[in-house]
Each structure stands twice: as structure tokens, then as C-alpha cells.
Amino acid sequence: MDGYNWVNEITNKTIIELKKTADILEEAHNNFFYKYDISNTKFNALAILYNGPKEGMILSEIGDQMLVTRGNITGLIDRLEKQKFVKRVRDDEDRRKIVVIITEEGKVFIEKVIEDYKKWTGVILQSIEVDEKNEFIRILKKFKMKL
């Protein structure tokens, strides 16, 4: 194997390009949310609450959808509450149960971020046709199954 350039081998080139692209996308994603003084995780929690039941959700329901622990979700909701994007309320039927509800301020905020996010992702992907996007998704799913 003397002199074998593994970097130029197509399988390795594919992995390297995928990793570089993922890193760039993550940084761009973080920069996008930074403008709104919010993390990707906070955005996801707000989006879950925004799209969830009007009566709110308990912490474990939010955590299950986000795949995070109860301890992590508690701190996350604390931070969103400080920003006045959510509030905790006791359940009328079971006073031990605390429900998290997105506030009106949180709704206005998430709607603006979602609108801007759609524009941003549209610009990023504007040169890729719909059928190419579908094919890319198919390939990524196939790749993910092997991990």
C-alpha cells in the first residue's frame, strides 16, 4: 500500500465532503439562531410547544419529542421562561402536574424566526431542484441506516 492516497478514493471523498458540509451547516445554523439570541435547542422546544396542544405540554412530553433528559428540559424551560417565551402553570385537574405553555410573546417570536428560517433555507437550497432534494433525502436516509 505504499503511496496509496486514501483521501482521493471515492468512498473516503464522500465521507469527507459529507462531514465538511455537516460542519459548515452546523456553524451556519448556529449563526442563524445567534441573531435571535436563541439556540437551536430553544428553537426546537418553542416549535414543539407552538405546534403542540393549546393546553400546553408536560416536561416529559417535550423532552420525549426532543430526545433529551428531564433534567436538561427543566433547565431549557427555565431559560425560555426567563425570556418570557413560555410559562409554567398547574394543571386544573391534577395540581401536582405542571404544564408548559407558550406565551403570546413566545408565539410572536417563534413565528418571526420560522418565517426568517424558511427564507434562509430557501436561499441555501434555491439552486437544487425538488426532485434533487428528494433524491438527496433518500440517499441520506440510506446512509443513516448504515450508521
Q: How far is the C-alpha of 88 from the C-alpha of 82, rounded, in Å?
A: 11
Q: How is residue 20 written as a grid cell?
A: 465538511
In tens, the pLDDT along 54-88 reads 999 999 899 899 877 777 899 999 999 999 999 99
User: What pLDDT score does 1 carry?
Assistant: 52
Contacts 24+ apart (CB under 8 A), 87-94: 89/56
In tens, the pLDDT along 5-42 reads 776 788 888 999 999 999 999 999 999 999 999 999 99
Q: How much is the pTM?
A: 0.80
User: What pLDDT score does 68 carry?
Assistant: 78
Q: What number is the average pLDDT over the span 114-121?
A: 96
Q: What angle is formed at CA 39 by the lines to CA 33 and CA 41, rounded to 5 degrees?
A: 125
CA 42 to chain CA centroid, nearest Å: 8
Is the separation of the CB atoms in 87 and 94 below 8 Å? no
pLDDT over 70 for what percent of the chain?
95
CA 77 to chain CA centroid, nearest Å: 15
